[in-house]
Amino acid sequence: MAKIIIPDDWWTAPATSDDDQTVMVTGRRALQHIIDMGVYNYRVEVTWQYDDQHRGMPDVETSKLMQNVTEALDSEFMRDPVAVLTGIYTGAGERNWVFYTRSLHIFQRKFNEILAPLPAMPLTFRAEEDPQWEEYHEMSQCEVTVIDSN
């Protein structure tokens, strides 16, 4: 099997939660070749609810730990593409990481291995089949296109 190339091309744009709080949406671009493979059929959403006294955003210490988590997960899944991190939502008192994976069992095992060296975190998981990548396509609509007027 050929090596899977996962692009490291991201965008970030503001969105609004159901209760009118700002949520920063960060999405990965250029994943059509991954979608077309037809093997990453499970979407896993990992949620970290935090104290949102900072206008819905995490405090500095929590934000740094969240960044460490993001980097550790993305780095390992880029190396061993059991899953693809496709989106990150931060705001309204929670951080959500969205992954597409081939296997829920392997994803769970790998996820725990990656985060084992870090402190315990209040994470919840939700998984469902999404072979058409509906959530990814919906999230991608949040990307803001900048038009160069030159």
Instruction: Say if residues 64 and 52 touch (Cβ distance below 8 Å).
Output: no
The pLDDT score that the predictor gives to residue 147 is 60
Query: Domain containing 95 — which CATH number?
Result: 3.30.70
| Amino acid code (one letter) for 67 | Q
Residue 128 is part of which domain span? Answer: 10-134
Residue at token pair 């949406």? 25
Each residue's pLDDT tens digit in the chain (150 positions)? 568 889 999 999 999 988 889 999 999 999 999 999 999 999 999 999 998 777 889 999 999 999 999 999 999 999 999 999 999 999 999 999 999 999 999 999 999 999 999 999 999 999 999 999 999 999 999 887 766 666
* Domain tally, the chain: 1
91: left (phi over 0), alpha (psi -120 to 50) or beta: left
Number of CB atoms found within 10 A of residue 1's CB: 3
| Amino acid code (one letter) for 91 | G
d(CA 67, CA 84): 17
Q: Does residue 149 sit within a domain?
A: no
- State the pTM of this model: 0.93
Q: Does residue 1 sit within a domain?
A: no
d(CA 94, CA 47): 7
Q: Does residue 65 sit within a domain?
A: yes
23 forms beta bridges with 15, 91
